Structures are given as structure tokens and as C-alpha cells.
Structure 1
Amino acid sequence: MRLFEILLVLSCFALLVDLLFIKRSAKKTGLGIGIGIGIGIGSSVILVAHLLVEGYRWQLLLVYIMTALFIIIVLLRHSEKMVNLKIGKVLKYSLSSLIVILLVASTLLSVYLPVFDLPKPEGPEKVGTQTFHFTDQNRDEILTDDQSDKRELMVQVWYPTENMNNKKHDTLFPNNKEMFKTYIKSFSASLKLPEFVLDYWKYSHSNSYENVEILPSASPYPVVLLSHGMGTSRVLQASQAENLASHGFIVVTIDHTYSTFATLFPDGRVTGYTTKMTTIDDRREVGDIWTKDVEFVIDQIEKLNLGAIESQFKGKIDVDNIGAMGHSFGGATAFNATYLDHRIKAGVNMDGSLNEVEDRDDINKPFMFIRSGNFEEWLATFEKDRNSNDEVTKFLSDELHIMKNVIEHGGNVIYIEGTQHFNFTDLQFYSELIKLSGITGEINGKRGSSIVNQYVLDFFNKQLKGTGGNLIQGPSDIYPEVKFVDPKEL
């Protein structure tokens, strides 16, 4: 909870105690009423400060109502009628119990559906961010019915910047009210929730500064392309992008249009999720679209670096050291793009099953698979069905063969105990209730995020900068949750 929210809840309980349990008399009310009025005024100030500084959110609605009601009653208690008003013990305790239950419920809602900020990046540099709208005029959009549509992408760039002490961090979601409303409408429709439930997301902040100048450097920055999972959004990978940028990388996150909860374009249009994913052939087709998205964005990165697209990034990008990474379907895309595009030097797949395994076992570039904590258990279960001839089993067998080949050629396959699929996204910071759904694991969200960030950083430091690489050599006492897979297990 935020500061004024905590103070507001405490003042509300103080008002309740004063109202129900501090005795008053008609003849001697000066000091008592003075204290009551003081509490009432103090609560009023806190309520106004909270609404002005932190902003209203629906989780505290009951606290707002109770506080306002208590303030009115307390301020009226100096009247003789109010002082002499008698309330039976049964009614008083029943009423106080009900009020306490309602206040506790409202407080718990605000705790478990918090206004969250992303964890601070662990690198030495501040982080800037800038968003671009790119259209691939050479590629028809096949995920819409309009045959004239071209493939449009929203791309967010994260980069090292100067210390910006006098500038506020950017909001995680669009800060334009109308754009935010449209954006959240699409998100809530996908999640089948009322719009107001997600309204408080507008208060959440990243650790980045929007449209600030890139930090001057004697040499250009290596770049990492980052793809989200199927049906999510680039916003769920923001903390990973910030962390890499704070360590001297330029990170380019891609919204793969029509495969996200919501993608917001500069003209206010918002596209939702319309991707069909039911068969292996569907996976291959959509995987091809996403891979071409990555290749097209690399084209735009090269243009930014050459100055063909006007920006501050001219000459600042090391196009000879490009990496790709992604979560889930985005991880599969990172593998496919790394295999196919000679410009990508190394890649990371975070808990993503591949979308293409044909002729992919001879990858000769550094690659790392990071899997969730149930990977070993999954391997044991799969071993029982390995000899099955069905299409899915054969596909998975080929995928394991690729992983084995990656290890034997100097790459890594690791898994992190205590994690589940969405521990590789920022969703774990949105609410502790996420754990109840089973999509995140038992590991503390910040701990799990830090582990993933450290291994991704160590990998890209070695492969794109020629430094580090100690963590990916083998097990570490610092991170006992990380297990390295032996190729014999595959």
C-alpha cells in the first residue's frame, strides 16, 4: 500500500474507536470533543492528500465511504443530541464488527491488488525509452480480413541514459487518459473483467524516462530484441528490458500485432487478440509471422543506426552484436530467428516450446534455454511416451534433440526451481493473488525475476560484449535454484 493509503486506513480505525468506544458526557465534553475534532480534521487532510497525490482507486471505496461518514459524525458530536445519544451494547458491537470486517476487506483488496511499480534495474545506468510505429510495406497482414492491410508493429526501445533526477519515471501504461481507457478496455475484454477493475494500473510506474537522450558512449551499444508470449504484450517484459538497458544494452521490445491483449497505435487504434492457434501447423504459420516481425525490426534498427530513419540512435547501435530473446511463443520466435537470420549472434528462449523443429538441430550459434521448475518432472513424464508415433510426441522429441545439440555445442539448458511459466514476465509483480492460479510458482517474484535477469545478462555479456560468462559455466552457490541440464537427460 502507498503511504497515504496506509495513513487513511489507520485514521479510519482511529475514528471508529473514537466514535464507538470513547465515552462522552453532556457536561464534560471539551477535551474529548477536542480530540475527536482533531482526529476528524486530520483524517480529512489525509483523505484529501491521498486523492490529490496518489489518486482514487476502487479497492479503497469502502474506506472512503466510512472515513467520510465517521468524519461527519465525529464533527457533529459536540451537539447535545449527539452526546446524549444512547446505543445499545448489542447494536454497538454488531455495528463495530460489521464496520471492521468491511474495512479489513477493503484494505486486503488494496494490499493484494496493489498499485505496483516495477523492481529497480540492477545495473549502474539510468534507463530511457522511446516508442516507434513501423509498417512493413512489403508484407500483407494475413491476420485481418482487409486484404489491403500491411503488417504494422509497435516497437519500444530501451537504452542507457543520463542521470535524470529532475524528471519523473514514465508510467507503465499510456498516460494519455483516452488512450489508457481504450487500452484497458481491450485488456479487460480479453481477461473477461469489468473495465474499472484494471483502472488502477494507470498509477503504476516503470523505472524509465521517456524520450530522453541516450547516454554518450565511446563505442556503440549491442542490441537485444525481446518478444513477449502469445496473447500477452511487450509491457509484461518491461522489467527485463530495463535491466538489460541499465547494463549497457539497447533493448527492442516488439508487440506482435493481433497476438497481444492490446496493441496501441499513435492514432488511438487498439488491436486485440485474433490469432488462431489450434494445431501444430497454426504454430508454424504464426511462428513464421513473428520471425519475419523480428527480421523486419532488425531492418529498421539498421536504418536507425545509419540515419535513414531520423532518430537519436544514428551510429549508437552495434549491429554486429545483435541478440534475440523471448518468453513462451516469443522464446520459440527467438530460437527460430536466431537460426534463420545471420545478423543475430545469440539467443535465449524463456520457457517456450518451439514452433518449428524441422532442420533446426544444426544451430551453430550460442543459445540458452531457460525452463520453469517443473521441467525435470515433465521430462520424466515425457520419457514414458517417447516411443509414441503421434505427431505431438514426435515434435517434442525433436525439440529435446535440439536442446541436446545446443548443450553439446557450448550452449545451455537450465531450469529454475520454484518457478512456473509466468515467472518469466512482470505479471508476478501485479498481485500476490497470481500465485493462487498456479501460473507463477512458489519462488518470491523479485527473487525469480532477479535470477532470470542475472543469467540472461551473463549470457549476453559473454556473447555480445565478450565479458562475463561465469554464471553460465555451471551451478552457483549464489543461485541454488538454478539447475543445469545434462545432455544425457535429454
Structure 2
Amino acid sequence: MLAVSLFLSVYLPVFNLPKPDGAYSVGTKTFHLTDRGREKTLTKTPHDKRELMIQLWYPAQGLNGQKQAPLFPEDSSTFHEYIERFADGFGLPAVALDYWRYIKTNSYENATISSAEDRYPVVVISHGFGTSRLLHASQAEHLASHGYIAVAIDHTYSTMATAFPDGRVTGLTTEQFMNGVSENSSKLGNIWTQDADFVIRQLDQLNRDAFEGKIDMDNIGMMGHSFGGATAFNAAYSNPGIKAGINMDGSLYNVNGKQAISKPFLFMESSSFMNIKNKALSGKISDEEIKNSGLTKEEFNKMIEERKKEYKIIDQASMVYIEETEHYNFTDLQLYSKLLKQLGMTGDIELKSPAIKKVRF
């Protein structure tokens, strides 16, 4: 028991989200939206409509007596079902993730939006495939503390878990769209892009009903990680309401016919992304690497040709890569366990080191 307790305290520690360093306190509100114009194409039930959970973080004031928001669902049964879905995905018993209930945020539920400015610009956040909006909570809090309204989307059925107000918890059921075939990635990507477009349209109503007109609908940006980064690019490319964007360590989909994006857009990449890119462009990929990819040689070569199209677009935008990072260093998952580094999911970069020292243009 002592050994198990020591292991859990070292590798699965209770932690708090990093404290934001902006001038504003942070409020948060969560909303359940239903797109009556779209059916749930990712379920077998006919005529269901697309449902989404979104969470907003914003500059706040008047926090006296306000409740500090939990990161995960407070209801006991909802929480247990929620972590069971994550645990299944990680191949762990649910009890190993029970400590998640103690993780504290820096946000206050339903706090009053700050009156310091007339309006606040918006950043929409799209998570990676099979993760969650909650893995970008510290980024959202940081943005809100600096005067932005951050809007994170849970792309239903593509998260590890999404909890709805009525107690339903949906899981990851769209793996069939992500089997390495570009047409299927594009199909799912279009659903996510439509999610982003719908949420942006709904912000108009939320602005009137819950945010005192302080959401600046004329200044909207979008950022995302992995598949969500590809969605940020696709949405920014097609939606004139999105003025700028960031893709964090993601590739692209729907690249045929696309040229360089005509608005400010940044690609932030890990060391592994650059390594793969260099190998793909040089053709120095071994048969062993192809075998380990799980694809046939024909499928792998097709993927490489698609990647080359992506790189051509990426190279025409702004790009940085951050040394000693891996894919999940761009999310809060790096805070959850030191085991992730040993598994190669996060890199050697020290979280307390100034990131700018690791950036290469």
C-alpha cells in the first residue's frame, strides 16, 4: 500500500491549474447548445439534432462570495461516469483518476463580466480528437486574464467524455472517421468546422442574454490543437468572421484547391512534427517506420502525398516550432502525470522555463 501510495503521489499527483498572470480575475459559464439545423450524423438514432457543450472564460469582477469553479463535473455519478470513459481510453482503472475531483481552477462560476472595457475580443478553442475542452482550461484562463473571452467547444462524440446538464455522458464513438483515409478525416473535419460556425453564430444571442453586449463579434480568432488545429485553419479559411488563428501541432484536411490563407495565421509545431516533415520531404522513411505506422505501403505513400500538400500551405503561413516539445505539451495533459513524458507523449521542455528560449522560426 505504501508503494502504491508513493507511486500515485509521484506519477498521478493532485495539482492546480497554473495561475493566470493577466490583470483580470476570471469568470466562467457553461452552455448547452442544440443546432436545430443539423442532424446528429455520428449517431444511429434518426432525426437527432447536433448537441454541443461549450464553456466561456472571461474577464470578471465582483468575486465576493463567488464559487471557484471545479474543473470536472461535481455531481458524483456524472463524475464517475466521466472518469470511467477517460480511464478506459488510457487503459487504467477508474479509481486511478479519482484524484481529478480535487483539481482546482482559477475561475469563478457565473461571475459578473468586467466593466473595465466596452467589449472583449474572442478566441474560439477546438480540442484535439479524443480529448476534451477541459484540457485547454489553463490556456483559456490565461487568455481571459489578459482581456479575451475564450470559448472552448466539446465536439460531441469526438471527446473522451462530454457531460450534459441532464446527466448524460457521451464518449468517443467516431473512431471510424479517423482510420487514416483523408476523405474520412475531411468528413469529420467538416462536422467540426460546422460546430465552430454554429457556436460563433450563437455568440450573438449569448452576447445579448448573458454577457451584457461585451462580446466583440467584430474581433474573433480561433485556435486549436491537433485535429482541432486543423479545424481552426479550415474555419478561419472559410468563415469571414474569424480574423486570425493558430494551429497547435496539427496537420490539415480539405487541402485540395486551397492556397495560402489570406489572414494572420500561426502554425506552432513540436519537434516531432518537424522531424516527420523533414523525413517526408526528403523521402528518407524506412520500411520499418512504414510498418510501424499500421498502414500499407500504398496507404502510407498516399498519406505522404497529402502531407506534402499540407506542408506547401503551412510553409506559406507563419510557423514556429518549439524545441523539446511533443504533441501533448500544447495541452494541459502535461500537468496530469509524469508518466506521459516516459511514454513520449510530452517532451523534455521544462514548464517553468521561458518558452521563448525554445522557439525556432
With normalisation by structure 1, the TM-score equals: 0.68
Aligned-pair CA distance for 1:366: 0.4
Aligned-pair CA distance for 1:382: 1.5
| Partner Cα separation in structure 2 for residue 198 and residue 264 of structure 1 | 16
Q: Please state if 1:382 is matched with 2:280.
A: yes
1:392 to 289, 303, 317: 303
Contact 1:374 1:417 in 2 (8 A): no
Aligned-pair CA distance for 1:145: 0.2
Q: What is the SS of the residue equivalent to 2:122?
A: strand
Aligned-pair CA distance for 1:302: 1.6
**Structure-2 change in CA distance of 1:218 and 1:121 (3 Å):** closer
Q: What is the SS of the residue equivalent to 2:113?
A: coil
In the other structure, the counterpart of 1:285 is 187
Deviations 1:205-259 (A, max 9, x none): 1111111111113321000100000000001011000100100000000000000
1:419 to 325, 331, 355: 325
In the other structure, the counterpart of 1:431 is 337
| Partner Cα separation in structure 2 for residue 204 and residue 377 of structure 1 | 35
Aligned-pair CA distance for 1:289: 0.2
Aligned-pair CA distance for 1:385: 2.3
Deviations 1:162-202 (A, max 9, x none): 26365452211111212212211222222232221111110
Residue type at the aligned position of 2:241: R
In the other structure, the counterpart of 2:314 is 403
1:240 to 116, 139, 145: 139
Q: Please state if 1:175 is matched with 2:175.
A: no
Deviations 1:250-298 (A, max 9, x none): 0000000000000000000000001121111110000000000000000
In the other structure, the counterpart of 2:120 is 221
Structure 1: unaligned runs, 5 residues or longer: 1-61, 63-102, 407-411, 452-478, 485-490
- The structure where helix makes up a greater share of residues is 1
1:346 to 229, 238, 244: 244
1:480 to 354, 357, 360: 357
| Partner Cα separation in structure 2 for residue 270 and residue 154 of structure 1 | 11
Q: What is the SS of the residue equivalent to 1:445?
A: coil
Aligned-pair CA distance for 1:107: 2.5
Residue type at the aligned position of 1:399: E
- Kindly tell me the number of residue pairs found equivalent between the two proteins: 345
Residue type at the aligned position of 1:418: E
Deviations 1:123-142 (A, max 9, x none): 11111100000000000110
**Structure-2 change in CA distance of 1:189 and 1:210 (3 Å):** same
2:148 to 201, 224, 249: 249
Contact 2:249 2:273 in 1 (8 A): no
In the other structure, the counterpart of 2:269 is 371
Contact 1:429 1:445 in 2 (8 A): no
In the other structure, the counterpart of 2:205 is 303
Report which structure shows greater RCO (CA 8 Å, sep ≥6): 2
| Partner Cα separation in structure 2 for residue 402 and residue 235 of structure 1 | 30
Deviations 1:457-476 (A, max 9, x none): xxxxxxxxxxxxxxxxxxxx
1:122 to 21, 25, 28: 21
In the other structure, the counterpart of 2:347 is 441
Larger Rg: 1
Contact 1:124 1:246 in 2 (8 A): yes
| Partner Cα separation in structure 2 for residue 134 and residue 442 of structure 1 | 39
Q: What is the SS of the residue equivalent to 1:405?
A: coil
**Structure-2 change in CA distance of 1:242 and 1:261 (3 Å):** same
| Partner Cα separation in structure 2 for residue 376 and residue 185 of structure 1 | 35
Aligned-pair CA distance for 1:158: 0.4
Deviations 1:409-459 (A, max 9, x none): xxx200000100000000110111211110100012344xx73xxxxxxxx
Percent same amino acid at aligned positions? 52
| Partner Cα separation in structure 2 for residue 299 and residue 203 of structure 1 | 35
Q: What is the SS of the residue equivalent to 1:337?
A: helix
**Structure-2 change in CA distance of 1:434 and 1:343 (3 Å):** same
In the other structure, the counterpart of 1:333 is 231
| Partner Cα separation in structure 1 for residue 143 and residue 114 of structure 2 | 14
**Structure-2 change in CA distance of 1:111 and 1:166 (3 Å):** farther
Residue type at the aligned position of 1:143: L
2:45 to 146, 158, 170: 146
| Partner Cα separation in structure 2 for residue 367 and residue 201 of structure 1 | 34
Deviates more, 1:103-112 or 1:195-204: 103-112
Residue type at the aligned position of 1:301: L
| Partner Cα separation in structure 2 for residue 362 and residue 297 of structure 1 | 25
Deviates more, 1:345-354 or 1:112-121: 112-121
Root-mean-square deviation (Å): 1.9
Contact 1:170 1:207 in 2 (8 A): yes
Structure 2: unaligned runs, 5 residues or longer: 285-296
Contact 1:129 1:158 in 2 (8 A): yes
Aligned-pair CA distance for 1:361: 1.3
| Partner Cα separation in structure 1 for residue 275 and residue 227 of structure 2 | 21
Q: What is the SS of the residue equivalent to 1:230?
A: coil
With normalisation by structure 2, the TM-score equals: 0.91
Aligned-pair CA distance for 1:105: 5.0
Contact 2:219 2:243 in 1 (8 A): yes
Contact 2:33 2:51 in 1 (8 A): yes
Deviates more, 1:374-383 or 1:224-233: 374-383
Q: Please state if 1:260 is matched with 2:159.
A: yes
Deviates more, 1:361-370 or 1:291-300: 361-370
| Partner Cα separation in structure 2 for residue 346 and residue 225 of structure 1 | 11
Contact 2:70 2:104 in 1 (8 A): yes
In the other structure, the counterpart of 1:14 is none
